[in-house]
Amino acid sequence: EPEVTQTPSHQVTQMGQEVILRCVPISNHLYFYWYRQILGQKVEFLVSFYNNEISEKSEIFDDQFSVERPDGSNFTLKIRSTKLEDSAMYFCASSLGGLIQETQYFGPGTRLLVL
Amino acid sequence: AQSVTQLDSHVSVSEGTPVLLRCNYSSSYSPSLFWYVQHPNKGLQLLLKYTSAATLVKGINGFEAEFKKSETSFHLTKPSAHMSDAAEYFCVVSDRAGGTSYGKLTFGQGTILTVHP
């Protein structure tokens, strides 16, 4: 069964450093998403991406964040200058369509720790 | 704005007894509702979803949920718990706000299910 994969599973970085989190969505899916979960808090929507552009983003997704689909298979989340409060589990998801009833398929997550 | 409240942060049951995980939602429009499960070190896996068809939805591994619009609830049940059901469960709502919020999921805070032998 096809699944969403994410690398790395864990990343430790120093405050102010750039990090890139990588995801490989399911191959025939067209919509891609990033969510995050700060320890002890709810899973939160960050951004959705379709047709090589952002379709929606939350207020969390400020200028420090960017997303890209560089090669037709990977979908990346870049944090330019990490802050302590960026420490969280980051989940990538993909769906075939973008409507509200579409199932989003999630990867196992990348746990980011900013020191 | 949409929101989801899972009424229990932890639920503990004995193997073979029924499971009830409670979820209430609020939504401006007709939502789609989902239950996801997360086992340790695994991704979020879809258990079942409601998309305005039948109000009683059957999912994988014997789980089901009933959409009750009058109560704004979408509780998850299973008649008989198995040890392998121990995991964290998330109630999730997806709806459209003003025609713009395609596919944005809003999560509840999660319920950790413990199953005792």
With a cut of 70, say whether residue B44 has pLDDT above it: yes
With a cut of 90, say whether residue A12 has pLDDT above it: yes
Nearest Cα of chain B lies from the Cα of A20 at a distance, in angstroms, of 19
A67-110 pLDDT tens trace: 999 888 899 999 999 999 999 999 999 999 877 778 899 999 99
CA distance A11 to A7: 9
Residues of B whose CB is below 8 A from A31: 103
Phi-psi region of B110 (alpha: psi -120 to 50; beta: other; left: phi over 0): left
With a cut of 60, say whether residue B97 has pLDDT above it: no
Q: Pick the residue with more confidence: B74 or A97?
A: B74
Does residue B86 contact residue B113 with C-beta atoms inside 8 Å? yes
Q: A99 and B102: CB-CB below 8 Å?
A: yes
Nearest Cα of chain A lies from the Cα of B87 at a distance, in angstroms, of 14
Q: A98 and B42: CB-CB below 8 Å?
A: no
Bond from prior residue into A2 cis (ω within 30 degrees of 0): no
Residue B80 confidence (pLDDT): 97
Q: A105 and B107: CB-CB below 8 Å?
A: no
Q: Which of residues 73-102 of A touch B (CB under 8 A)?
A: 91, 93, 95, 97-102
B113 closest CA partner among B33, B32, B47, B56 = B47
Write the CA distances from A104 to A29, A72, A87, integer angstroms: 10, 19, 24
Q: State the SS3 of A96-113.
A: CCCCCCCCCEECCCEEEE
B101 touches A at CB < 8 Å = yes
Q: A56 and B41: CB-CB below 8 Å?
A: no
Q: B51 and A101: CB-CB below 8 Å?
A: yes
Nearest Cα of chain A lies from the Cα of B19 at a distance, in angstroms, of 22
CA distance B32 to B50: 6
Residue B30 confidence (pLDDT): 77
Among the ranges A43-57, A91-105, B77-91, which has the highest mean pLDDT value?
B77-91
Query: Least CB-CB distance to A45: which of B44, B104, B110?
Result: B104
Q: B103 and A43: CB-CB below 8 Å?
A: no
A1 touches B at CB < 8 Å = no
Query: Least CB-CB distance to B94: which of A3, A55, A100?
Result: A100
**What is the largest distance, in Å, between two alpha-carbon atoms of chain A?**
39
Reported as a pLDDT band with limits 50, 70 and 90, residue B100 is: low
The helix (H) or strand (E) run that includes residue A53 is strand A53-57
B21 closest CA partner among B7, B33, B32 = B7
